[in-house]
Amino acid sequence: MNAPSPRPYASAKPARPLTGTISVPGDKSISHRALMFGALAVGQTRITGLLTGEDVLRTAAAMAALGAEISRDGDDWLVSGRGIGALTEPADVLDMGNSGTAARLLAGILASHDIYAVMTGDASLRKRPMARVIEPLKQTGAQFLARSGNRLPLTIRGARESMPLSYRLPVASAQVKSAVLLAGLNARGVTEVEEPEPTRDHSENMLRHFGARVDVERVGRGRGIKLWGQPELVAADVVVPGDPSSAAFPVSAALLVPDSHVTLQGVGLNPLRAGLFETLREMGASLAVHNARTQGGEPVGDLIAIHTTLKAVDVPPERAPSMIDEYPILAVLCAFAQGTSRLRGLAELRVKESDRLSATAALLSVNGARVEIEGDDLIIHGTGGLPGGGLVETHMDHRLAMSALVLGQASAQPVRIDDASFIDTSFPGFVPLMQGLGAGLSTP
C-alpha cells in the first residue's frame, strides 16, 4: 500500500467555547470483530454503525479475499459467512494497512485453517513485532515465516488439523488473547487462555453473541477463559457503539477549553475499556453519563463533558489494559493539570503504531511541558497550562496526531503536526467534527 501524502495541520485556541451534540465513529475493536465473526458464521450478519476508517476497511477486504461475501446496504454492512473451517485461500497478499489489531486477530484465524496466506501492511505496521502472536499460534500446528524480528510480511501455512491451545499471556493483551481464541474456534477440544490482568472482552462477548460457548472465571487479579472449539457460529446482527477511544479526544478538548459543554451520543462504556473515564473523574473532571443502556451485549451511554480545572493523578499499572490507547491524550490532560502526575506500567506503549511512550513524551516536551520517563512510567509535571508552539512528529500514529491537535486547543501558541493523514485509520471525519464544535483546526 502506498502511504498517503503527508497532510500537515495546525491547531490553535478556538474563538469560542466548544459546544454541541455529536456522535463519534463506531468502535474500532468491535468493528474488526464483527466482520471477522460474521465471516466465520453461517448465514448473513447485518452490521449497523460499522467504523469505516481505513483500518476496518482493510479487515473487510481481507475477509472478502478469504471467501466471505461483504456488501453495503445503505449505512449498514452485510456479511454472508463461510462457516468455521470453510475459508478459502486468498489469491493475493492480504494488506492490513496500519492495523495491528486486524493483523494479529487474522493470524489466529489463518493459523487454524488449512490454507496458505501472506500478510503485509504499511511502513508503520511492518515495524511492529508479531512474535507475541506467532509463538502461541505455533501450538496449533501452523507454520510461520516472518521477516527479521518477526515482522511483516508474514507467511502463514495454516494447520491441517488445528490443535486446541492452552496459553498464559506473559503480558495483558486483548489482541493476543483474541488471536488465541480465534485459533481455537477451528480446533477440536477446549482452548484455554489465562491473562494476568483483565483486558477488553469484546471477543468473548461477540463469540457468545454468535453462539459459541465461552466460560470466564477470575484467576488471581486476572481471568481464565475457556472456549469450546468447532461450534457452529450462527449469523447475528451487530450494532456497533461509538468508540470510547475516539470519544476521548472531543471529551478532552471540552475539558480543556474554557466554558465548553459537549455531549457525545451512544458511546461504548464497557468497563474493561473505561479506564480513561475513571481516571478523568479522579482528576476532578465534570464527566457524566446519561441514558445508560445495553446494546448488542455492550453497555452504552451518552457522555456529557464540561470544562473543568483538573488536578494531577497517579494511575496504577493494572489500569493500563482498560485504557492502553488513551495514554497520549491523558498525558496531554496531565500537562494542563495542577501538580505532578505519574502514569505507571506503560511497557505496552512501546509496541504500538509507534513507540508511543517516547513519542508522547516528545509531543509534550516540544510544547513546553516538563516530562520524564522512568522505566515504564511517564511522569508529567503539570502547571495548569502550556506554551505550545511546537511541531509534533506523529510517526504515522493517528492517536499522537489527534492528541497534539487537542493540545493546541488550550496552549498559548498554536501547535503544528507534520501529518494528519493517518487520523482516518481510526477516526474518519475527525477534523470537520471538531471544527463543528468550534475547534481551531486548519491547514498551515
Query: Could you give the residue numbers annotated as active site?
Result: 325
CA atoms within 13 A on the CB side of 21: 4
Contact 319, 281 (CB under 8 A): no
SS3 71: strand
Contact 113, 140 (CB under 8 A): no
Nearest to residue 31, comparing CAs of 42, 14, 47?
47
SS3 120: strand
CA atoms within 13 A on the CB side of 120: 9
Give the whole-angstrom CA distance, residue 42 versus residue 270: 27
Q: Which residues, 6 or more positions from 111, have their beta carbon under 8 angstroms from its beta carbon?
A: 137, 140, 142, 156, 158, 159, 162, 179, 183
Evaluate the omega torsion of the peptide bond into residue 153 and state whether it is cis, within 30 degrees of 0. yes
Nearest to residue 61, comparing CAs of 88, 96, 98?
96
CA atoms within 13 A on the CB side of 113: 22
Give the whole-angstrom CA distance, residue 65 versus residue 351: 28
Q: Which residues, 6 or more positions from 375, have their beta carbon under 8 angstroms from its beta carbon?
A: none
Bridge partners of residue 44, in order along the sequence: 80
Give the whole-angstrom CA distance, residue 39 versus residue 201: 20
Give the whole-angstrom CA distance, residue 370 versus residue 386: 10
Q: Which ranges constitute the DSSP H helices of 70-193?
A: 100-111, 131-137, 174-184
Nearest to residue 270, comparing CAs of 234, 228, 323?
323
